Each structure stands twice: as C-alpha cells, then as structure tokens.
Structure 1
C-alpha cells in the first residue's frame, strides 16, 4: 500500500513515472551528507517533514519494480543510515517534541516507519530496535487508551496506522491487535464533537466541518488499513465498520462535484494551494475505489460508477492525468474503471442534502450545483491555525458557492488569494476591518445563534441562519429557498452598531464576463454565468475589477446591497438564477407572480412558488404565514404534487423542542405516510400535526405525506 501496486511497470505511464522516481531517489542518495545538524545540507534539522519524506521516496524506489534501483542494496543501506542518523539526532527517545504535536506522533514516525518497513532487513535489529523505542516514546500505548483530545477521528486513524507500522517493524502481534482494536471508537455515529454524524456531517477540531480535510484522511486511512489487514488474524470485524461504508454516499459524495471537493468542508485548508479542491476530490475518489475492494458487490458497483462520472466530467484538472504524478496505485484502479465499458459513468444526482449538524447544505440540479456554509452555536465562523486561512472570517456568514456548466475552477484558480475577503458571495457582513487570524484558532469562533438549519424533502429545501456577525454587533436573519432553476434569498432585521456599512453580497464571481444591469427592471445578468433578480426594487451595487495577490491577478464581478451605516431593520429579497441567459433573466424579472414573499421579518420568513406547489416558511418564533402556523421555532416545507397528495417536511433547527404543533390551512382527507416523530395528526378542513422529541432528530427533517 505504501509503495503502490496493481500496475504493469513496463507499461506507460508507469514506466516513465517509475524511472523518474528512481532518478529522484538516486539524487537524494548521492546528495546525502550526514552531519550533526542535517542529513542533507539544504534541510537543516529538525526538518520533521522533508527529511523523512526523502527517506521514504528512496525506500519506495528500492521496493518498486521499474525504478532502475529496484532491490539496490546500496540504496537500502543509505536509507537505513539516514533513518538511524535522523533518529539519533532528532527523533530520539527523550527528545523535546517542539512545535506541532502531530509531527512527532503522526507525520514523522509514519514516514520513518514506512521507509523502514520497505527496506526490510537492511535496517538491522539494533537500528530497528532503536527506532521502535523512539516511536514508543512519542506514541505510547496510552495514546490509544482514551478516545478524546487529539486522539479522535482522523488523528486516531493516523495513530493506529503508526501503531500498526510499529508492529510490522518488530513483528509484534500485540501491537497489531492494539492498532486494530483502537479503531473501534472511530466507527460509531457521534452526537457531538469529532466524527461522523447520521446526517452525513463530519466534524474535526470540535467545531469544523471537515470532509475535505480530516474526513478525507480518515477515509483514506481506514481504506488502507482495511486492505492491509484483510485476510490476516487482525482483520477488522467490528460491526460498526459499516458506518464507514455508508459514509461514502452519505457524507463524502454530497460534497464532491464533478471530481472536486467543495471548500465549505475543508476548514483552514481552503487556500493552501491552487486547485486544492481538485486534489482533495482525487484523494476521496482514490480512497473510495480502494475501500470498494472490501465493500459489497452492490456498493462497489455504485461507487465505481460514481467515481467514473466524477473523472469523466472533471475537465479543469483531468483526474486520470493528475493521478500520474501522485498515486500510481490509484491511477491503475481508476484507469481500469474508465476502460471498463460495463461500468457506466453515473450522472450528478439531483436533489438536496442538508447536513444540519455541520450547518452545511448542498443543492443539485441539472447544469448547476450550490453549496451553503453557515455558522452556529456549535459550528465556527471559520478556522485558522498554523498561519493558514487568516482571512476566512466570513466563510460561515452564509457563503453561497455555486457552479454552473464549465465553472469547475470558479473557487480553485487563485480565488482565495485574490478575492475580497469582506465580500464573499451570499454573505451579510459588517465591513468593520479585522485583523489577520482574528478570533480563537482551530475553529473556536462559534456565534451564539441556535436557529441554523432548515427543512428538506430531498428535492427542495428551506434553509435559514440566525446570523451574528463575526467580531461585530451585526445581526441578521437569512433564508434560502432552493428550487429548480433558482435560489430565493431573503434577509430581515439586519442591524449593526459598528459605525460602518453593512453589506449583503449577492455574488462575487471570478470572471471578466460582461455584466449587464437594469436597475429600473430590477435585474442583472453576468454573461456565461447566470442572472439576478431584485423584485423589491433595491439598488444593486456593482464593481468589476482586477485583484492581485503576491504572484497572480484575477478578474472579479461583484454585486452587493448596501444596507448603510449602522442599519436598524434592513432587509433584502433577491433571486439567484444559475445558468440563466439574459433573456431568461429578463423574463423572470417581469414575471412578478412566479414567486410571492409571504413574510420577511425577524419572526418569519417564507415564500410561495405556485408553479412548483411549494410553500416554505422559516419560523424564527411561533407564528403564521401562507396558511401555515407553528407553535414554536421551526422550518416547514410544503409541496403539493399535483396528483392529489402533498408532503410536509418539518424540522427543529434549534434542536431543543420536546413538542411542536404545525397547522396547515388546507383541507386534508388522510395522512398516507407518517414519521417516527409524528405523535398525532388531525385531518379535515385543516391539517394539524403534532411532533414530539424533535430535539433528538439532530435538526433532520420529518416528512409527512397526506391526501388532499
């Protein structure tokens, strides 16, 4: 698994890549000059990442066929010398682990052990024993005794991987058994803190949605360990391991679009590198194909079709080509899937996924996709740490990402290094200036707002956020109604006392496309992207500019609403029309009856869309709107289907209700399908539904089907 397998070393592109690996390894070997303060002159100690990485590269060239150095004893001896030299001067028993704990307990020992295992007996008993003792010092067994602190989620999987490598190094069956048994706390669903949630959320660092970072590491580590110990006495048989397989489609697939992983679940890593979202998507795809080898036939078939679809649609960074320079094993598995005509490429699914426990939502329709990032009393505004993402302050203030046809690099190509961080699309913000890295690190930037979430029937959704501005007095009530060809966006009771303007950013696209605005008719259009409709007649501010970072310049078209300095009760209504043409935008703006705003206040926000049979209301408090009433704060989505039936999706976004009564002023003959949380239903001239224990549903939607 470490070296790579499953490919013909004589076939291209493997032959060229393996020869290149051999050349790099030879260069490292020839340049190695062990000294008191370094192993290579250009990498002064401690060099916790680069020096062990070079040793592992050399060991891979020794172990793999076709490198020109396969089985080369002098290369293996150089690796052994390098490992021991580094172990004696840096990674030595009793050394002070300065810096990040992760390097000493996961990153550095993982690479050193990988290299040691790959060269096998070339690392003498004395040297392997000394490395064992160093690893035991920094990663003692007690690290796996308690599932808490930094020994949870992805970190626990990595620690178990280190422990298993340590077992292999010295043929220690007890350590192998510990490495496998200590994985068990990772598998079950969690209700708080780090791990997988039933709604598909994955949290790390307590407050950060992280499928694109630590979640991907968890998936990769588990897929690897399942493969390594399969068929051995230590095979993973914990019945809760099925959660990992279920999360492929419940947690990871919803946040991967056309082969890239959406930045809304990548924490502080969003600006780490250009096209990092595509690299994360490849990593998830690689893990899924590897995990498929341990899955059921039905799961394997679905996953291979899904990954083939991702790879087929990713034109920004073609997945197979990119895999040549990263993971030859993944390249081989992906190439086999792409070449197999019996495996059809799955289309992007259509529907809505609301992950209430992580304050995230993803909406898919033919030709476009949107993702929403919010903050709540349990999910931070943003994460910064280790100097990364110092200006991500407002990414949780209702940032609305969206991708249309051909827009796969919209947030990939230097977006984070050049975008105005005070004007992220969809957000409502105080323009008060903030310091880099403002607020607590590692995601501990949670606002007090509890009403964050919404209701969905799996196709459409009403989502809301009681927003408290980051390090400001700004407050707002924001709602999004996700439909077929539009997202209706409402804001109400927007206030602030910071002495600066408050703005709502309708959009901020990385493009130099033609922007057309018709203030009188209440619409704007961005050529090749989509349209915007402002039915309330608000003035739309626009700016087309070039923005530069240290090395690149990118064009932006920004559209926003200026609520003025210290607003007291400002609001907004606008429609986002992804992919709409200019004519379609103009037509929608002229069709004033297409959607009706039922309410837009601090108590209630709701809309009605007759053509879709939809009535949707976010009740910030108990109240009534559009024929719906609720006895407590909740979200309600009603869809009349045109066949004499209707569905009502109801949720408790605050997650604190013991009882809720929802009334619909509509004649109903019968309840066709109930819900486990539905306690009673009264039909007749009106429909009255009483739900109990909704707080236990984790913000999920309870759906009831009725006959009208």
Structure 2
C-alpha cells in the first residue's frame, strides 16, 4: 500500500493535535461558540454543493424533476411505518442502501425549491424521526458492524449525516448527539491517523467527508480540522499501492486501475471538500493539492472518450448496468466542473472546454438529458450554462498516445477513432471480482484491445458485458479452458508474474508489449502492439500452452449486426461502418456470426479469431487492425505487403518497420538486434524519422530493472539536438551508441532524444 512519509505523518498529526487542543493546560480552550459562523457557512455550502447549482425551478426540465422528487418524498413520508424490523415495510433491516437513500430523498425535497414540500416542517420531522429510528435499530453506537466495512464507515453515515444536515435545526438535541456518537463509534478519529489499509485513496476521501459532516453536525472544530488535514496524503503521488501516480495511473484495491470507479469518487470528494471548506478556518491550502488539479488532464481525461469512461479503468464496475461507462463519464465531468470552482482560472477554462467537447460529442447518451433523467440537477444546470456560453469553445478530442505504465494501460487517439489496451502484470491483476460482481472478467487483462470507430460510442455500453462471450474478448490470446466463475483472488488479487509489461511512446505513436501468462492456464505468450495513424499492428510470438485445449487469439468480437465481408483466402475481413482487419501471419482468419443473450437482452456479434491449435508450441501471428477503414481500403492494405515490414516476431524480440512513416518499433524481450537496433538489455524502442533530417528515438524499461542500457543504432547521426537526462552518453557517427543509466528508477517512463541524421549509408 502507498504510505505517506514519516515526516508528513508527523506533520499531519501535529495539525490535528493543534486543532483539537481542547482543555490543555498550555493552550487556550477552543469554544464551540467561537466557530458558530464558520459552521453556519459549512452548512450553507454543503446544501449548495450537494442539493444543486443555481437553476430556475419553474423551467424545464427542473420543474418536472422537482415535482417528481416531491411526489416521491411524500410517498415515502406517508408510507413510513417504524418497526423493530424496518422503517418501511418491505425494506427489512439492515437495508444499508434503500432506507438511508429514501431519507435523503425526503431531505432533498425539503431543501430544494419547486418540490411542493420545500421547507415543510412535517416532512423535516419525518426525516428526523426516520434517521433516529434507523440509528436506534441499525446504526447504534456499540452495534456489531457485520458485513462490509464500507457500509458502516462510509455508505450509511454519509447518507444519514447528509439528510440530517439538509433539514437543519429540525435535527438537533439528543438525536443529533446520538447520531454523532454512533458515527464516532464506527469511524473513530484514529481511522484518519494512518494512511494505510482501507483508509487510502478514494476511501480516505470518503472518510474525510464523513468526518467533516460529523464535525458540522456537532459543531466540532477539532473534527473539522482533522477532516481537512487528513486529506493531505491523498494529494501526494504514490509509488505503490492505492492512489495517484506521477505517470497518470490511479490504483485502488492495490491491483486495479480505477479512474472510472474509485478515482471518480476521489475526484468528486476532493472537489466537494475544497468547495465546502473554501473561506472557512479549515480551508484546504496544502500546495500538493495541485497534483489533483493536474490529475484532471493527466489521469482522467486520457480515459474519457467522447464522454464515455473507458471500461479498462472501471474494475468490477463493468458488470453493472449497461451504459455504465457513459454514467461514469458524466460523474467525472461533474467532478471536474465542481473542482474547477476551486482551481486557478486558466485550469477552469481549459477544463470547461474539455467537458463541453465531451457533452457535444456524446450522442450515445447525451449528457444533459441523462443528467436530468437521473435527477442530477446540479450537473444539468452546469452543463446547460456551459453549452450556452459562446465564450467557451468545445475542445476537440486530442490526438496522441497516453501510456500508463504503472496501470498496464494504454490509450491511443486519432481523428475518428480511439483504442484502449488492458494488460496484466506483477502489479496489476488480470481482473477484479468481488461482492458477486464481474465473476467472468477473467481475460480482461490478457491484452484486451478496445476500439471505438466514429459513431460507435456505445460499442461496449449496450449490454456488451452480459452478452459477449467472456472467453473471446477482443485482442486477447487465451486458452479455451474455461475458468470457474469468480476464479482467482477477489478484489483484483489476480496478478501474473509478468514484469515486462509496458512500452515506449513519443506522445504520438507507441510500441507496447505484454509478456502474457494466461489466467489459470499454462499459456505463455509475447504480445506487441504498434499504434499508428490509421492502424494498430498486432504481433504475437512464443505462444505455448499445455492445457489439452485449443489456444486462440481473438482478433475482434464486435457487438454489431453490420455486414461482414471476408476475403476468399481469409487474409482480410471488413465490417461495414466499423473497420477492417488484415492477417499477415498466423492465419487463416476464422469468422463467426451469432446472437447472444444475457440479462434479458440479446445482441448480435461478429467474432474473428486465429486458431493456434491444441497445446501450441511457439506459435505466432501478425495482423493489422484498421479502425474506420473502408472495404476497398482494407483490401488495398492487404495487397500492399511493403506497407509494414516485420523485423522480428519471436520470444526474444518483436519489431516492425513502417517505411512510409519512418517508424521502427522493437520490443526487446531479451538483449539482441532487430532492424539495425541493438540493445544490451530488455527494453522498448521507438524510432521516428521525421523527414526533415531529424529523428526521435524513445526508450523505456518496462521491467524497471535496468541500471544501465546500451543501445546501438545502425544509422549515421551527426549531432544530438536534445538528450533526455537518462541518456548519459551519446556518441555520434556512422553507428551511434547511447548509454542510459538508472532506468530502473524511472517507473517504466519513456525517454526521448532528438538526433540530427547524417546521410544514409
């Protein structure tokens, strides 16, 4: 787990101790009444942030949604029937979610205008009685916290405290003190004294929010100070475990890339805490909060495509409701807009343009309409204002490549298409399952290659996960031996021993590789992807297994009923409106059309795969993925054998040369030579000759174990125009030699140098 340093922990403890120094002989006593105005401010801010941004309650869609909220609240009020077994018949205790949610709906109807129950004392009294009844029967001080810890420390107290604060003075006296005591029992202050266990990342942010709400309920300045100061470890970059990484990765549950789940919770929680505490005695001023601001474009924007959060960073959440990727995209957008209110003006305007671009391009689940349908009136109001503001231009989707080495993830964008790659390593699990969710996500880390063509933003949204064949996920190489549901450790504890997982990128192109160990099989393989302008070159080598069943590489498994064309020799195929595939080695291409049913939905699929046979030994493949290509374009690429030259495709090296692009890309699984490049150690190398007499040579150490690397290039170089600090020696001449040092300490990052080329030999 990621931990703050001892110095930072002591600093944190000192702040908390100073803020809570009540009644000490050497300190002036802190009087609650001295903070009455501050807590009044926090109550108002909490209502503003959580109950909705300014909007006209008489305008649509607010009028209809508010009226519906009022009707629901009235129904809950009228059907409330407190009993030792329930608060509402049919919702037997503990009812961790439904009962607190209903109380919060009632509280929102009380505080929001236009509900028909705004400010209704009878409704507020019903909320107060309901919260106290639930507290006595379920969330009682001293009760045994059975089941998932999250319900007792985050889920239940957050909802109960929210409802209590929204009804204001209607919840006070003994009920307020009793609820405060219960929260103190289940969330003692020492939960925030150490940044470890379940008090890290998004969970730490949630615990800080609960502590702040508890502070406001009891007007407790010490707890308010603790809630603010205990957030500091979240701001710091971590090198292992949960949290934000300098390369843009975000990890939760120790092994799971999670921007689209816990990461979104962290971002929203930090944005809320910054907004609520702004201008108060506990305003968060930690300079390292800048890292969270930077994460908007470093960690979150790379994994949002046209408003859709890519499933490769959503953990077990992919198995939940359809269009969950778009729902998470909206949540990230909402968090960014709220965070912008606490960020520097330049950041805020840039983020607004980015979110506006997402909202404009998300036609699969238009953001404003979806926000209104979900009752998120605050997001709808912010989006409506943003879309109507001509001073904020909608930003285009940025072209380029983002490699997240620590998360074993890559995202590639070009005009009209986007691709995402999901791998597993010794630090990133094959998949996450838990709480009965996602029991068949076994192969999502086996090189799953997602891709979106223009107009297909719902490709993995519309019932994809319940209907797709989980043994044939696109891009993966797998043993056809089917694992049991929920196989392997839960919560992402399914890491293979692979260390060479990652690659090199110059920001525009990339070479990425995965030493693949099949999930719960004897399969071993070496997979590489070279990401280009209109294609992804996919290579596999050393494919070996002994499970007694066939091994397959799934070229694609497309959720579509569009026409599928296949060449007579099965060397290429094309799906109308989507793109094409060209097999250069390891064929022939196998194809299947079928309709699959899951969770009450039936969807059509086009599956394309390469069969490596039963118990293959050192098998391989080479194919091209051509997103957005026409049928004629696919056929033409198949007829052009010189477009890509395969330099090597073995368990020692995989590499290609693209003459028209001036690109040479080699993944050195072991030291050796390919395409005029010789490496003394395992590494990834990407060379791009620009056509103006210069070249960019980029190197990375995916294994993170190279103290020194020597790279020789059989291409004359006359000068070094820019050298990365890791390249400590660069010689020019007919055969330049570059020596890198301490790559092992650089977390798999890419290191570019720019060279002036001499005349070719």
TM-score band w.r.t. shorter chain = over 0.9
The answer to whether the aligner puts 1:457 opposite 2:506 as a matched pair is yes
Correspondence for 1:299: 347
Correspondence for 2:524: 475
> Which of the numbers 154, 162, 165 marks the counterpart of 1:114?
162
Correspondence for 2:561: 512
Correspondence for 1:404: 453
How many pairs does the alignment contain?
Answer: 708
Alignment map for 1:522-671 (pairs within 5 Å): 522-536=571-585, 538-671=587-720
The answer to whether the aligner puts 1:488 opposite 2:534 as a matched pair is no
SS in structure 1 of the partner of residue 394 of structure 2: coil
Q: Is the 8 A contact 1:356 1:452 kept in 2?
A: yes
Q: Tell me how far apart the structure 1 counterparts of residues 84 and 699 of structure 2 sit (CA, whole Å).
A: 66
Q: Tell me how far apart the structure 1 counterparts of residues 432 and 586 of structure 2 sit (CA, whole Å).
A: 37
TM-score between both structures, scaled by the size of structure 2: 0.93
Q: Is the 8 A contact 2:720 2:754 kept in 1?
A: yes
Q: Tell me how far apart the structure 2 counterparts of residues 175 and 5 of structure 1 sit (CA, whole Å).
A: 27
Alignment map for 1:253-264 (pairs within 5 Å): 253-264=301-312
Task: Give the CA RMSD over aligned residues.
Answer: 0.7
The answer to whether the aligner puts 1:82 opposite 2:139 as a matched pair is no
The answer to whether the aligner puts 1:335 opposite 2:402 as a matched pair is no
Alignment map for 1:118-517 (pairs within 5 Å): 118-324=166-372, 325-517=374-566
1:300 is displaced (CA, Å) by: 0.9
Q: Is the 8 A contact 1:597 1:606 kept in 2?
A: yes
Q: Tell me how far apart the structure 1 counterparts of residues 544 and 207 of structure 2 sit (CA, whole Å).
A: 47
SS in structure 1 of the partner of residue 585 of structure 2: coil
Instruction: Note the alpha carbon deviations across 1:310-334, whole angstroms, 9 max, x for none.
Output: 0000001000111113311111111
Instruction: Note the alpha carbon deviations across 1:631-659, whole angstroms, 9 max, x for none.
Output: 00000000000001000010000011111
Q: Is the 8 A contact 1:370 1:403 kept in 2?
A: yes
Q: Tell me how far apart the structure 1 counterparts of residues 744 and 172 of structure 2 sit (CA, whole Å).
A: 59
1:117 is displaced (CA, Å) by: 0.5
Q: Is the 8 A contact 2:570 2:588 kept in 1?
A: no
Q: Tell me how far apart the structure 1 counterparts of residues 440 and 571 of structure 2 sit (CA, whole Å).
A: 33
Q: Tell me how far apart the structure 1 counterparts of residues 79 and 170 of structure 2 sit (CA, whole Å).
A: 20
Which stretch of the first structure deviates more once superposed, 453-462 or 693-702?
Answer: 693-702
Q: Is the 8 A contact 1:522 1:537 kept in 2?
A: no
SS in structure 2 of the partner of residue 657 of structure 1: coil
Moved runs in structure 1, 4+ residues, more than 3 A?
A: none
SS in structure 1 of the partner of residue 198 of structure 2: coil
Q: Tell me how far apart the structure 1 counterparts of residues 649 and 585 of structure 2 sit (CA, whole Å).
A: 12
The answer to whether the aligner puts 1:72 opposite 2:120 as a matched pair is yes
Q: Tell me how far apart the structure 2 counterparts of residues 554 and 294 of structure 1 sit (CA, whole Å).
A: 44
Q: Tell me how far apart the structure 2 counterparts of residues 204 and 523 of structure 1 sit (CA, whole Å).
A: 40
1:135 is displaced (CA, Å) by: 0.3
Q: Is the 8 A contact 2:668 2:679 kept in 1?
A: yes
Which stretch of the first structure deviates more once superposed, 512-521 or 639-648?
Answer: 512-521
1:10 is displaced (CA, Å) by: 2.0
Q: Tell me how far apart the structure 1 counterparts of residues 720 and 82 of structure 2 sit (CA, whole Å).
A: 78
1:537 is displaced (CA, Å) by: 6.5
Q: Is the 8 A contact 1:519 1:539 kept in 2?
A: no
Correspondence for 1:4: 52
SS in structure 1 of the partner of residue 717 of structure 2: coil
Q: Is the 8 A contact 1:680 1:691 kept in 2?
A: yes
> Which of the numbers 44, 47, 72 marks the counterpart of 1:24?
72
TM-score between both structures, scaled by the size of structure 1: 0.99
Q: Tell me how far apart the structure 1 counterparts of residues 148 and 587 of structure 2 sit (CA, whole Å).
A: 50
Q: Tell me how far apart the structure 1 counterparts of residues 53 and 348 of structure 2 sit (CA, whole Å).
A: 19
Q: Is the 8 A contact 1:651 1:699 kept in 2?
A: yes
Q: Tell me how far apart the structure 2 counterparts of residues 345 and 365 of structure 1 sit (CA, whole Å).
A: 18
Q: Tell me how far apart the structure 2 counterparts of residues 382 and 326 of structure 1 sit (CA, whole Å).
A: 32
1:402 is displaced (CA, Å) by: 0.0
> Which of the numbers 100, 105, 109 marks the counterpart of 1:57?
105
Instruction: Note the alpha carbon deviations across 1:340-389, whole angstroms, 9 max, x for none.
Output: 01111111100000000000000000000000000000000000000000
1:4 is displaced (CA, Å) by: 1.6
1:78 is displaced (CA, Å) by: 0.3
Correspondence for 2:16: none
Q: Tell me how far apart the structure 1 counterparts of residues 629 and 379 of structure 2 sit (CA, whole Å).
A: 38
1:519 is displaced (CA, Å) by: 4.2
1:123 is displaced (CA, Å) by: 1.3
Q: Is the 8 A contact 1:371 1:402 kept in 2?
A: yes
1:66 is displaced (CA, Å) by: 1.2
Which stretch of the first structure deviates more once superposed, 697-706 or 9-18?
Answer: 9-18
The answer to whether the aligner puts 1:699 opposite 2:748 as a matched pair is yes
Q: Tell me how far apart the structure 2 counterparts of residues 536 and 223 of structure 1 sit (CA, whole Å).
A: 50
Instruction: Note the alpha carbon deviations across 1:158-184, whole angstroms, 9 max, x for none.
Output: 000000000000111110000000000
SS in structure 1 of the partner of residue 87 of structure 2: coil
SS in structure 2 of the partner of residue 357 of structure 1: helix
1:121 is displaced (CA, Å) by: 1.2
Instruction: Note the alpha carbon deviations across 1:265-320, whole angstroms, 9 max, x for none.
Output: 00000010010000000000000011111111111111011000000000010001
